[in-house]
Amino acid sequence: MKILGIRRDVDFSPNLVGNDAAIFTAVIDELRNLGHEVSIIPEEDMKKQDYSSFDRVLTMARNRITLTELLETMMKEEKDDVLKKFFNSLNGTLLCMKKGEMAMEMVTAGIPQPKFLLGFQKELLPKSNKMKDDFTLPFWMKNAQGPSTMLFDTVYCETEKDIEEALKGFSDLRIDFWLVQEHKVGDLIKFYGVEGTNFFHWQYASKGHSKFGHEKINGKEKGYAFDPSKVHQFADKLAKKIQVPIYGGDAVIDEKGKIWFIDFNDFPSFSSCRDQAAKAIAERVILGGS
């Protein structure tokens, strides 16, 4: 089988360049060890690549503009057969960057998540009191326009001053569309999976690497009892719905053991479970049918 691997640009691996490169290399090595022919390109070459000769395309790309233009071109040229080669799907990868659309996908899929508000700054300014009516502090304000590549794409707000500073920061970064998400108190966990295989891993956030340090907000885990298989079921259901079989995410477990999904991402670094994940990803790519 001929497989094309697309590396993630370092700009989209904030504080995780080495880990992202490591999982990519591990999967490529696994595929080659299984006898498959694998070629590799950087994501900047995606738009000019001819995909016709490849049976599968394994991509870690996250350049929103490049992915959007490539998807639009292929849809215009009715290349559905080519789009089906991609793992993860181009549309699903883009969806993971759009936190507002992802929140709506979770609603339709029945995935438990905190209460949220979505819109443009001009519609949700604090002075309108709309935000206060729908939410009580603290809550999170998140960039809903693209991937999180810097600390200020996600802001924790405890006071009115925090809201004002977040709005100013978003304005300075030309972020106009954002998500406000209710803060849930509880144990923060990270989970990793490959839909279509038996692989699933979870751990407390305190046990792994932090991209921006937001995990400290929830503090040390209390060890609240919960059913990890339910997290797996919810995650696989969402992954299948949006065609992102290679996934990771975050959830909060409250004191009653209720699960709240707060983030879902395409192709994470799997740093704490790399060897097992690489085997499962290779298995999933070979299986096909994203």
What pLDDT is attached to residue 166? 84
Give the pair of three-digit tokens for residue 257. Answer: 């053991």
Cis peptide leading into 265, omega within 30 of 0?
Answer: no
Average pLDDT over residues 213-233: 88
Closest CA to 133 of 121, 142, 120, 124: 124
Helix (H, G, I), strand (E, B) or coil at 259: strand
CB atoms within 10 A of CB 122: 8
Share of the chain above pLDDT 70, in %: 90
What pLDDT is attached to residue 128? 44
Which band of pLDDT confidence, cut at 50, 70 and 90, is reported for residue 212? very low
How far apart CA 209 and CA 216 sit, in angstroms, is: 12
- Name the phi and psi angles at 242, rounded to 5: -100, 5
* DSSP codes joined into one string, 24-87: HHHHHHHHHHTT-EEEEEEGGGTTT---TT-SEEEE----HHHHHHHHHHHHHTT-HHHHTTEE
Which band of pLDDT confidence, cut at 50, 70 and 90, is reported for residue 154? confident
User: Taking all residues of the chain, what is their mean pLDDT, rounded to a whole number?
Assistant: 90
Q: Map tokens 């144990």 to a residue.
A: 187
Above 70 in pLDDT, residue 149? no
Which band of pLDDT confidence, cut at 50, 70 and 90, is reported for residue 130? low
Give this prediction's pTM.
0.91
Contacts of 66 by beta carbon, 8 Å cutoff, 6+ apart: 43, 44, 46, 47
What pLDDT is attached to residue 143? 85
* DSSP codes joined into one string, 127-147: GGSHHHHH--SSEEEEE-SS-
pLDDT in tens, 107-122: 999 999 999 988 776 5
What pLDDT is attached to residue 25? 97
Which band of pLDDT confidence, cut at 50, 70 and 90, is reported for residue 133? low
Judge residue 275's burial from the number of C-beta atoms within 10 Å of its C-beta, 0-12 exposed, 13-18 middle, 19 or more buried: exposed
pLDDT in tens, 18-75: 999 999 999 999 999 999 999 999 999 999 999 999 999 999 999 999 999 999 999 9
Closest CA to 179 of 170, 168, 188, 191: 170
Above 90 in pLDDT, residue 235? yes
Give the pair of three-digit tokens for residue 10. Answer: 């370092």
Lowest mean pLDDT among 37-41, 136-140, 141-145: 141-145
Q: Measure CA 60 to chain center.
A: 11
How far apart CA 30 and CA 28 sit, in angstroms, is: 5
Which band of pLDDT confidence, cut at 50, 70 and 90, is reported for residue 213? low
